[in-house]
Structure 1
Amino acid sequence: MPTIGLNALSIFIGDTRVCEQLQLTMDSGQNWAILGPNGSGKTTLLMTLAGLLPAQKGCILLDNQPLSSLSGRDRARRLGILFQGSDDAFPSTVLNSVMMGRHPHINPWRWENQDDLDLATASLATVGLTGFEQRQLDTLSGGERRRVAIACLLTQDPPVCLLDEPTNHLDMRHQLDTLAHFAVRSQQPGHLNIMVLHDVNLALCYCSHAMLLYGDGIVEHGPITEVINTTRLEKLYQCPIRRLQDNNGTAYLPM
């Protein structure tokens, strides 16, 4: 069962203290939201959790092993990341792009097999892109390309998914479909998701836990219904917040 442990983790960007001496364990079965204002270091924290940026102090453990001790291939088999944006380095079809997710699992001396192709096809179906397999990436809309990137991550099929603003470029239906899929995925044995979100209400609907980044080194974290409240959100976003509640649940709106 995957776990990510943060042991006295400190991350700084110029004058911004993303986190300071952070002690936290994120376990299988959890779906985490990272929330905070612009410039608070949400993406930097996610990149550090992926091992792509260094922390100033402390360490990150993946399944009780130092993340820095893992080879790139081993890390990619166990942890995958959806970046905030994507630049296509070369022309490609949708299917070839999604199949890139299988590379950590394929030895250099073999090609993709039918199981790899089936997983890629299923991932495209999950994001609603069945029939797009032979489309060129440069013919797609921004939202369609975002869904290709999500399908690539699903094809990689890592136990831990790190997602930087997964709803970027997506219309309302596909935002809900994407977040619902990852919420269900986190409840399957052996899966953990950590995602950067800007919409507090979507986080409340789909995430089990939350981290609030204030940019001063303080990080509040825990089950999302315990962490999110009007006082904290007003402090976090520096604006008046109104809490609404009915039989369908709770929502927070800026005033």
Structure 2
Amino acid sequence: MTEPVITVANLSLAFGEKQVLKEIDWTVEGGKITTLIGPNGCGKSTLLKSIVGTLKPQQGIIMLQGKPTSSWAAKELAKHMAFLPQTPEMPKDITVEELVYCGRFPHQNWWRNTAGEDRRAVEAAMAATKTSHLKEQRVSSLSGGERQRVWIAMALAQEPTVLLLDEPTTYLDINHQFEIMELLRRLNEERGLTVVMVLHELNQAARYSDAIAVLSGGHMVATGSPDTVMTVELLRTVFAVDSTIERESDGSPYVKIHGLL
């Protein structure tokens, strides 16, 4: 078993009187693709934001590589973890290359010239995401799929070991969804990049994930491989749907929904 790169222990978080996460225990293995699934409002995005430090939990601990994230300096943490929210804020009139360069911020220091390192990292990130030809275009002019690849390039320019994404295929058509999922799998296989993401599409989660974690009502109710997690019983309990589980040509489970319970 691969060593956990992220460990979440006894994590709880509330917004006012609403308890969103309740005593979450979870580990994410390094070098794997792990996907969070669950009904709307169950706490998936909140959990990701807690891990990267955007939200502060009431209780519990989050560790990166065995060290509490609360003890990391912000820049050091950003060298190891990159996070893409569901709808990133886009600076006005910025070019693709300028946006990707924003990912180099954690590596820049006033006392050291990092221009050469920055250039190499930015070029490598754009090459990996096939966005080099877009570098002079305005980000606002891109299609949804192109824009998502550029945001991933910016995250890669941070040179993280862990990439966290909140619904990376939302608002994309089927072709671009497939393109983004294939890109993430390639980055995982070629770079050993640990990918943690929230997905709504159950069959994308089953096809592309090494591990799946299921949140429901603020609780972590199941973790494991797609084979062990994707069951008729779990889909009935968590999503209130009648389903059958079939098999893709690669052996991964395929969820066929027949209707609501």
Common fold by TM > 0.5: yes
Matches within 5 A, 1:19-30: 19-30=21-32
1:251 to 251, 254, 258: 254
| Offset at residue 215 of structure 1 (A) | 1.3
Task: Find the counterpart in structure 1 of residue 40 from structure 2.
Answer: 38
2:184 partner letter: F
2:14 partner letter: F
1:37 partner letter: P
Task: Find the counterpart in structure 2 of residue 157 from structure 1.
Answer: 159
Inter-partner Cα distance in structure 1 for 2:220 and 2:17: 14
Structure 1 unmatched ranges of 5 or more:
none
Aligned residues: CA RMSD: 2.3
| Offset at residue 172 of structure 1 (A) | 3.0
Task: Find the counterpart in structure 2 of residue 242 from structure 1.
Answer: 244
Inter-partner Cα distance in structure 1 for 2:131 and 2:186: 20
Task: Find the counterpart in structure 1 of residue 227 from structure 2.
Answer: 225
What whole-Å deviation, never above 9, does each CA across 1:31-66 have from its counterpart, x for those lacking one? 110001111111111100111101121110111111
Task: Find the counterpart in structure 1 of residue 145 from structure 2.
Answer: 143
What whole-Å deviation, never above 9, does each CA across 1:204-228 have from its counterpart, x for those lacking one? 1111011101115243112222111
| Offset at residue 2 of structure 1 (A) | 6.7
Give the match's secondary structure for 1:48: helix
2:108 to 98, 106, 109: 106
What whole-Å deviation, never above 9, does each CA across 1:179-224 have from its counterpart, x for those lacking one? 2332343346763211000111111111101110111524311222
Inter-partner Cα distance in structure 2 for 1:215 and 1:97: 37
| Offset at residue 92 of structure 1 (A) | 1.1
Q: Relative to 1, partners in 2 of residues 1:121 and 1:218: Cα closer, same or farther, differing over 3 Å?
A: closer
Q: Say whether residues 1:214 and 2:216 are aligned partners.
A: yes
Matches within 5 A, 1:1-255: 3-13=5-15, 17-110=19-112, 112-187=114-189, 191-245=193-247, 247-249=249-251, 250-255=253-258
RCO comparison, higher one (Cα < 8 Å, 6+): 1
Number of residue equivalences: 255
| Offset at residue 171 of structure 1 (A) | 3.5
| 8 Å contact kept, 1:212–1:220 | yes
Give the TM-score, by structure 1 length. Answer: 0.90
Mean Cα deviation higher: 128-137 or 152-161: 128-137
Give the TM-score, by structure 2 length. Answer: 0.88
| Offset at residue 252 of structure 1 (A) | 0.6
Mean Cα deviation higher: 103-112 or 87-96: 103-112
Q: Relative to 1, partners in 2 of residues 1:191 and 1:138: Cα closer, same or farther, differing over 3 Å?
A: closer
Identical pairs, percent: 32
1:240 partner letter: D
Structure 2 unmatched ranges of 5 or more:
none
